[in-house]
Amino acid sequence: MELKRVVITGIGTINPLGNNVNDFFDNLISGVSGAGLITYFDTTNFKTKFACEVKNYNPADYFDRKEVRKHDLYSQFGMIAADQAIEDAGISKESADPFRIGVVWASGIGGIRTFFDEVKGFIEGGGIPRFSPFFVPKMIADICAGYISIKHGFCGPNYATVSACASSTHALIEAMNHIRRGRAIIMVAGGSESAINEAGVGGFNSMQALSINNDNYRTASRPFDKNRDGFVIGEGAAGLILEEYEHAKARGAKIYAEVMGGGMSADAYHLTAPHPEGLGAASVMQTALDDSNLKTADIDYINVHGTSTPLGDIAELKAIQKVFGEHVSKINISSTKSMTGHLLGAAGALEALACICAIKNQIIPPTINFETPDEEIDYEQLNLTLNKAQSCKVNTTLSNTFGFGGHNAAIILKKLD
């Protein structure tokens, strides 16, 4: 069958670098660190005392008091980002048949804050079951997709994708495919996460996944640096409006980029560690290229998963070198997690926005906090856009996301011809 073209006509975000797209793009290009000491709970007994929290957030600015009681923070962030994107695109349920406007919204963990608080209250209350009637709806990972559709009257495909840190890239690919195959005209896609609480930080600490560089917390997220010691947890959301190209053109919509294709694969190797040679990562990038009918020479920028972990960064770079060969020296590479921290299930959608920023401004956002070279990395062959943004031609971008369980997803965005 002939596949429909898919474009992005609306974007929105709330994240550690900004509570809207413009602030996010400005801080991304400027190389601002979103890291700070954790304010949500007492970190005295925790190995990690810092994170990338959303700044200056007051739920009363977005929701009335009754609504706040119904939404875990991850859902609040998701609805805010989705609302921004919907407004930016200028769409409503009247824009098309509402049964052909859908939502695929991701979260790797869902309402972990709600789960922790409710169970803590149960234990501290002597085992008396006084759970909130909103406990289960606030906790489940699909509820944000449901809330978005209910608020806006979108009756098309509606569900969540859950694949750890690859979740929202999977959401974008799923949304793209619904439109490609003619099953939808408009899709709201993205992801949200808020796991900066005792359970989230403590759990990742026990896995030795988080940085414990408390003395240098603002620069602790340092992908490709020899002294990297784990990721910095972040929170927030990013939303994108995907739309069938002819429909967008007919209504005079602004178009940020075309969604060319995506890839999905599995490492089938280890619960949390990447394949040491990056086999799954190489496979997913090649699949995304094939799905997009593009060649390696077409890619100008790769926004890498780049979490600042000792094993992950090396495996991903090996995969990139394997796939792109000699052309790799002509590509800009950067990890925007050095600024935003790792938004877990929301990372893919946020990094798709970073790719749109690069296309829109013809500037590659940097990998900040680099100080000490790692002897396992070839910095001469690999342009890792270290510490400072670089102005250059950016037509086509590739974004990688990899999740615990060996889940890999990659998506390609291109400046509209």
Residues marked as catalytic: 165, 305, 342
Which residue type, as a one-letter code, is found at position 132? S
Which tokens is 201 given? 């930080």
SS3 content of the chain, % helix, strand, coil (to 5): 40, 20, 40
Q: Please compute, for residue 160, the number of CA atoms within 13 A of its CA located in the half-sphere on the CB side.
A: 24
Are 162 and 107 within 8 A, CB to CB?
Answer: yes
100-126 burial: b if 16+ Cβ within 10 Å, else e: bbbbbbbbbbbbbbbbbbbeeeeeeee
Cα distances (Å, whole numbers) of residue 281 to 290, 327, 416: 14, 17, 27
Q: Strands (DSSP E) along 117-211, which ranges?
A: 158-159, 186-193
- The region that residue 43 occupies, defined by phi over 0 for left and psi between -120 and 50 for alpha, beta otherwise, is alpha
3-state secondary structure of 403: strand
DSSP-assigned letter for residue 326: G
Are 224 and 374 within 8 A, CB to CB?
Answer: yes
